[in-house]
Amino acid sequence: MHVPDALMTKLLKSWHFLYKRGFIEGFGHISARLPDDPELFLLARHSLGPRANPEDFLIVDMKGRIVSGKGAIPGEYPIHLEILRARPDIGSIFHFHGLHSTAFSTSEHQLRAIHLMGTLFHDGIPIYEDPRLVSNPDRGVALAKALGSHRAVLLRAHGAAITGADVEECVGGTFLFEENARRAHASASMGKPIWIDEKLAADAGGELLKSRGPFKRVWALVESDHEQEQ
């Protein structure tokens, strides 16, 4: 089964970048829909360490079956399967346990845009209320329903799932999602956080999404990290 070299290269660079930057640390997985067959997707195998190779990515179908690849499928593969099934516009998903973003699922504060780049998520960041592992289809379906039409969803006392139309958008969104949460966490520690006005956030976020500038900037960091490792 053919996997485009460009797609695999992007996944490997993304994995190394996210691991190096502390987004994974033993927990987390990324997926990408195959462009020539939207009913199949690539998924990082279970317990993948900081160094990834092409054989570490499994090809999985929409029934959760491994079509190709070696290694065990992550226990929370329904996160990817059910979101990809529900959202044909999504091409890539990353699940991780970010410290700052997850904190907003366990506090009185609702995470919103507090920084310009956070306006990428201006349409809201819903919370999936079940903290248990998303380890079966029913929980995957419920998570996809909680995500709805949004770009990201927090899992109560657990983590987050960030989506993108492609790998670059998913990785860039992940980086900026956690950065917005980090800044919001700092603001909340100093008192009442001052969130960006909803209309202004929508206008600013719309401009950023149209230009794709933030995703390009983060991807430049991904490429830079890769070059330094060569």
Strands laid side by side in the 37-44 sheet:
66-68, 57-61, 37-44, 29-34, 92-96, 159-164, 152-155, 127-128
pLDDT at 1 over 70: no
For domain 5-229, give the fold.
L-fuculose-1-phosphate Aldolase (3.40.225)
The pairs formed by 213-221 with CB atoms below 8 angstroms and a separation of 24 or more are 214/117, 214/120, 214/172, 214/176, 215/164, 215/168, 215/169, 215/172, 215/173, 216/168, 216/172, 217/172, 218/168, 218/171, 218/172, 218/175, 218/176, 219/168, 219/171, 219/172, 221/17, 221/175
pLDDT in tens, 204-218: 999 999 999 999 999
Q: Does 229 score more than 90 pLDDT?
A: no
- Written as six digits, the tokens of 164 are 């993108």
Kindly tell me if the per-residue pLDDT of 131 is higher than 80: yes
Query: Any idea where the domains of the chain sit in the sequence?
Result: 5-229
% of the chain with per-residue pLDDT over 70: 100
The pLDDT tens digits of the residues spanning 45-72 come to 999 999 999 999 999 999 999 999 989 9
pLDDT for position 25: 83
Give 158-168 pLDDT, tens digit per residue: 999 999 999 99
pLDDT score at 114: 98
**For position 113, what pLDDT does the model report?**
98
The model's confidence at residue 128, banded by pLDDT at 50, 70 and 90, is very high
